[in-house]
Amino acid sequence: MKLRISLLLLVALFLGLWLAGPVAPTAQADTGRIVIYRVPPIYHWPPLSPPPPPIYNWQHTQAQNQSQIQSGNTNVNSPTSNVNSNNQLINQNLGTQISINGATMPTPTQFLAEGKSFSFNEPRQNGVIAWNGKEQILILSTDENSTVAGGGATLSVLPLPGKPISVLPASTKAFDDATAMIKKKLSTIAKGTVLLEAKIGTHNIFIWKLDSPDDFANQVRAYIKEKYDGKADAVVTEDAEKVIKQYFEQGFRYFAFDVSFMPDKPETKVAIAYRFESPYVYYPLVISRIGGEGKTRVTLAVFTPGLLRHFKGLRHEKVEVFGDKSVDLTAADLEPIDAEMAKLMGTETFKGRIFEISGQINAFEGDLMAW
């Protein structure tokens, strides 16, 4: 009798686990990510047109810069690409650029078909923003960690409110230096912040201009098919398409994509400086819904010509200002942090403050848009 009861309990347990299905794996990373998963050898692709050429390609631009340096031209369009007396590029955390057609392309070894239920969370987001009223430079650097052994490959999406101007490497210390400077100006004893120390990640950044949100899914899948020689696919969910459509309806046409490798140990990827036209201070939040879940806290060092009095998208009461005030700064204060940002802000005195935004990733109704 006891044996029969034990067997029945085991059967019930098995059925319960089977009905519940596998638990979706979770990783900490930038959200706004599309999972790339390996497909089986026999895989039937739907009819897809070739992906459009990008209007900007990080790998191509970096190759041009390196070529100019090797030819003796030191006037290279990169604020962190210094050249020594022998016209050789000094390594300043430029990152390991992945070869799209070579062996260094990030391989989605772990995702397979179960990658379709993969999700990401990002407890902390850091950024530095310099806006002069017409253009913005946004420096992003995020701690990322995959809890899946071996990591994998993903495609992150960053909507841009205006025409892109450049995508360049930046200092991984920019955020810490910027927030420390503002806190010092506020005469506040700052609590120690975690320095961004980690290995250099692999990146291939490109930008598309979308003519229609309906093209998004097929273009992404066609791109992954082409770059992985048909051996991998991208999971573009209906929710992802809805988010892109929402951006498109707001007037967004430019989207930056970054094919990168998800490490299996905590690390910080290369800080990237995106420069683009913008009528307002901008930081994307809604895009995090793509693959994102859980709580997040966003901390931004923000530099603007004056005070910000108008907000749309994210409501102003959702934005906390560290110290409840801003500080007056000059280009000389910003120069050691990022030379391009210092140039962007010009010779006049400008304002600096630290914004903090927190909440559930899926609850953000709009992006930070302020002027």
User: pLDDT of 334-363, one tens digit each?
Assistant: 999 999 999 999 999 999 999 999 999 888
The residue type at 235: V
Provide the pLDDT confidence category of residue 187 given band limits of 50, 70 and 90.
low
Residue % of the chain over a pLDDT of 70: 64
- Taking Cα atoms as reference points, which of 181, 160, 171 lies closest to residue 78? 171
Rounded to two decimals, the pTM is 0.77
C-beta of residue 234 within 8 angstroms of C-beta of residue 35: yes
Residue 173 tokens read as 């210390």
Residue 180 tokens read as 């420390």
As a dihedral over the C-alpha atoms of residue 244, residue 250, residue 253, residue 257, rounded to 10 degrees, the angle is: -40
- Could you read off the pLDDT of 156-168 as tens digits, one per residue? 899 999 999 988 8
The residue type at 317: E
CB atoms within 10 A of CB 92: 14
Residue 4 tokens read as 């029969």
The answer to whether residue 172 scores a pLDDT higher than 60 is yes
Residue % of the chain over a pLDDT of 90: 37
C-alpha count within 13 angstroms, C-beta hemisphere, residue 350: 25
CA 92, CA 87: separation in Å to the nearest integer? Answer: 15
